[in-house]
Amino acid sequence: MDIFDKFSSLQFRSDLVQRLGVDPFGVKFDRILNASQGLIGNREILLAGTNNYLGLTFDPDCMDAAIAAINKHGTGTTGSRIANGSYEEHVDLENALAAHTGMASAIVFSTGYQTNLAAIATLAGPKDVLFIDADSHACIIDGCRLSAAPTIRFRHNSPADLDKRLTRQGEIKDGIALVVIEGMYSMFGDKAPIAEFVEVCARHGAYLYIDEAHSFGIFGETGCGLAQAEGVLDKVDFISGTFSKSLASIGGFCLSRHKNFEITRKAMRAYMFTASPTPSNIAAARAALDKIASMPNLRTALAERAAQLHSGLKALGFDLCAGAGPIIAIRRPNEVLAATEWNWLLENGLYVNLAVPPGTPQSSSLLRISLSASHTKEDIERIISIFTKMKSNSGALMAKAQSVLQAGTQ
């Protein structure tokens, strides 16, 4: 047996999609011009699938901070903070995140994915029980796999189902219940009823952990996320997030209202045994955090563009997965048609995300749009115009998808 035989079904699906044109999972941009435009060859592409929600990757202050950090410290840390020590920028960013959110403790990590691997696997021990939303992101699921705690799933965004499962579990002898949800879910863009989850957890004495990767910086009076927007930030035990969305960098963080969270630095393997974030990444995120705190107009602009696009796509009759928000996902009948349409959109100057199983909830095939505060009203009008044109070509696109599907299965 060949070591790669186990991937044969995935290879078949990949080959099928690539018959349609560009590989959606291997797009190469020759240059990124700004937060909303890029070049493929000499063709200018409108970017609507970057998760650059506040458009800060080209903010002059963020760029200058990253450059200054490289000039001061070089390009990398070359080791973990446990072994090589911390830079003052690591500590400053942790203090700033804690102060901004009113939390007692903050720990930064090299990626957002690593954040959930490290924190969940460490916080939930063998005598504890994990309760996670059925639509949890891969990094939450993998964090649970690394934990010694058993994992129980509850229905997506259902505080009532969580309540039922916590009741059924009953008292956990010598252990705790750790409930993990997300603020805004990355594929559909739907939002959790956080205040209701807080109430259920309080009733059962469970700890609540919220991944606000896609909602930090976007929601709440000062951009602390959906927990702040619902007025329950001070009742959440742990909040994780990433620098790679609104914070315009690479890295992640976990915050806690419990000061004793600090001891986990000496227990989290994914923190202890990996290189710490680079000076430039930390400095860029720190500058972006200042923007989040001082520029609520970015959140306002993003909300306005989201409402504009959601209204336009809904009027065209597209099946949208959630209400207006920075993530707008369009359901498609199958992955081959979705890939066909994705290629057509790229050919017509628009980049969105193709999202297909197993990376999507409910085995959905999606055209996923993520908006930015840097998008203008004219950009949104252009997106709507391109989707209008695509809809008028739906018959030809469906025929092409069917032809490729038939050829691939023969």
Return the SS3 of 128. Answer: coil
Return the SS3 of 27. Answer: coil
Return the SS3 of 181. Answer: strand
Q: What structural domains does the chain harbor?
A: 5-53+296-409 (3.90.1150.10), 59-294 (3.40.640.10)
From edge to edge, which strands make up the β-sheet containing 37-40?
31-34, 37-40, 43-47, 350-351
Q: For residue 161, what is the enclosing H or E element?
A: helix 159-169
β-bridge partners, 177: 129
With 0-12 / 13-18 / 19 or more C-beta atoms within 10 angstroms meaning exposed / middle / buried, residue 1 is: exposed
Around Cβ 374, how many Cβ atoms within 10 Å?
A: 24
pLDDT of residue 408: 66
Q: What is the pTM of this model?
A: 0.96
What b/e string do you get for 335-350 counting C-beta neighbours within 10 Å, with b at 16 or more?
Answer: bbbbbbbbbbbbebeb
β-bridge partners, 330: 320, 367
Tokens 């955090």, residue located: 289
Q: For residue 180, what is the enclosing H or E element?
A: strand 177-182
Quote the distance between the C-alpha of residue 208 and its chain's center: 19
Across the chain, which has 410 residues, the per-10-residue mean pLDDT values are: 94 89 93 98 97 98 98 97 97 98 98 98 98 97 97 98 97 96 98 98 98 98 98 98 98 98 97 97 98 98 98 98 98 96 98 95 96 98 98 96 80
**Cα–Cα distance, 15 to 18 (Å, whole number):** 5
Quote the distance between the C-alpha of residue 137 and its chain's center: 8
Q: Are 209 and 179 in contact (CB under 8 A)?
A: yes
Where helices occur in 176-258 by DSSP H, the ranges are 194-204, 226-229
**Bridge-based pairing state of the strands 177-182 and 207-211:** parallel
Tokens 């035990």, residue located: 237
Return the SS3 of 151. Answer: strand
pLDDT of residue 36: 98
pLDDT of residue 18: 87
